[in-house]
Chains A and B, each alone.
Chain A
Amino acid sequence: MPDPSRPNQPPRDGVGSPRAFHVVGQPALIFKGSSFPLTVAHLTTVDAERIERDLTTKVAQAPAFFQDTALVLDFHAIEGQPLNFRALLDSLRTHGVHPLGVRNGDASQMAEARSLGLAVFPPSRKEDPRAAPQGVRAKPKLMTHPVRSGQQVYAAGGDLVLLGMVNAGSEVLADGNIHCYAPLRGRAMAGVSGDVEARIFTYCLEAEFLSVAGCYRMVEDIRDLPADVRSKPAQIYLSGERVVIEAI
């Protein structure tokens, strides 16, 4: 039946309307599998004030990162504790962050999440919350020229292989490991997206700054490096929060 309130409009769904012709046989919704990068926020307290305070600081540090970020809340550490769920969601939303769902909560927390319209994600495998991001790694990035003072090289999603020297005043970063087959004199940062298993390897260690997954060691003077690794082949890795420098 034509809509009497819009006499000049073609019938909206009737067969024979020009629009309907195109969509005949086509479903209204097409489902396709896809994956999105999501940030997971691990709650370590139910104290609403502390959450609000920490959130404010974090957002102030990286406003662009948090703007319209979709978030999954991980309740593993606060399982069984009473939580003002609504206040938490309000606080996140006022900061421009969109909570999508919850995982690793207890039964009542998960039920409340459902009632608040959030998705309920399956529990994660028992893993270190900071462990390596899963999934396919990018091809290693290869640098055959020296990295010079003022230059920065970043291997996104994988390892960085350096054949030329890395000079003082330069910066090399990788989401994965850093392999340097020449003197390493600049700043080297492995696992910059949080991979605590990432390592730095070099033929000749003289770096100014070393970091793995955000834990770092500053080398103000290369004489501060122990003699067995100074200007020698070495590897750098994390043991807990400690940056270990070891001869190889």
Chain B
Amino acid sequence: MAKIIVVTSGKGGVGKTTTSASFGAGLALRGHKTVVVDFDIGLRNLDLIMGCERRVVYDFVNVINKDARLNQALVRDKRVEHLYMLPASQTRDKDVLTREGVDRVFHELQQELGFEYIVCDSPAGIEKGARMALYFADEAIVVTNPEIASVRDSDRILGILSANSRRAEEGMEPVKPYLLVTRYNPDRVEQGEMLSLETVKELLGIPLIGVIPESESVLNASNLGTPVILDEKSKAGVAYSDVVDRFLGENRPLRFISTERTSLLRRFFGG
């Protein structure tokens, strides 16, 4: 049975799409057949970040409306084997996604096409689109920036996950949430301009799956249409690799969470 993972945040622009692309690519790189589904109807950009916008013919909405078969809409990644994408529609009609439709598509992805992981890139907000993206999830990656507004929105999403997901409605095991702190800048934390990792963890009270440092390589990678995880020289890329390993049960210590100065001191004096 495939696992459905939603990448969600409430707040916009925190790094959901960046995370969905890299996380999906990371799972595929490790040999798991993975599809990343763009739920951001009307604002699609997952295809840009994954560099396959020119190969989009049909989209998620066409499949839901039975205008196209799932096979026709899925876009296979050219660089990474086992990686697929289901693009969102450009038509600005958010209400076309129905639970029955999404359920049918997910069922087909799992049962007929043999996907192991379905990664759902959620739109921002807490309205219909975001609720639909998280409804079928088994696990949730809650992307949070180290600032109070983002923490607050993540908290709202966690409330919705625990009350309005399919798992909650059907009285199953609750959706398993993971905290992913992105755009983390240890220098600015030290200056008191950003919340510390400890504070974010304490406020949300869910297990931490990783910390992605603020890094220019993210913007460069998305301009090139490459998930940043493929850039092995980038700190953000390496941090995303750690996240995927931890998700698959490996033990990876956190990196890039202290300033250069403190990490040097650590290296010399231990601790």
List chain A positions with a Cβ less than 8 A from chain B: 145-151, 164-165, 167-170, 185
Quick check: B152 and A149 within 8 Å, CB to CB? yes
A163 to chain B, nearest CB (A): 12
Quick check: A169 and B162 within 8 Å, CB to CB? no
Given contacts A169-B152, A169-B155, A169-B156, contact A148 B162 (CB under 8 A): yes
Q: Is the interface of B mostly helix, strand, loop or mixed?
A: helix
Quick check: B156 and A145 within 8 Å, CB to CB? no
Quick check: A149 and B205 within 8 Å, CB to CB? no
Chain A residues near B218 (CB, 8 Å)? none
Quick check: A149 and B162 within 8 Å, CB to CB? no
B124-146: CB near A (< 8 Å → 1, else 0) gives 00100000000000000000000
Report 28 cross-chain contacts, Cβ distance below 8 Å, ordered by A residue: A145-B162, A146-B158, A146-B205, A147-B159, A148-B156, A148-B158, A148-B159, A148-B162, A149-B152, A149-B153, A149-B155, A149-B159, A150-B126, A150-B155, A150-B156, A150-B159, A150-B160, A151-B159, A164-B205, A165-B205, A167-B155, A167-B203, A168-B152, A168-B155, A169-B152, A169-B156, A170-B159, A185-B203
Chain B residues near A169 (CB, 8 Å)? 152, 155-156
Chain B residues near A167 (CB, 8 Å)? 155, 203
B221 to chain A, nearest CB (A): 32
Q: Is the interface of A mostly helix, strand, loop or mixed?
A: loop
List chain B positions with a Cβ less than 8 A from chain A: 126, 152-153, 155-156, 158-160, 162-163, 203, 205
Query: Can you name the residue of chain B whose Cβ is closest to the Cβ of A169?
Result: B152
Chain B residues near A146 (CB, 8 Å)? 158, 205
B100 to chain A, nearest CB (A): 27
Chain A residues near B152 (CB, 8 Å)? 149, 168-169
Q: How far is the CA of A152 from the CA of B159 in the complex (A)?
A: 10
Q: How far is the CA of A238 from the CA of B162 in the complex (A)?
A: 35
Chain A residues near B158 (CB, 8 Å)? 146, 148
A176 to chain B, nearest CB (A): 24
Chain B residues near A165 (CB, 8 Å)? 205
Chain B residues near A145 (CB, 8 Å)? 162
Chain B residues near A151 (CB, 8 Å)? 159, 163
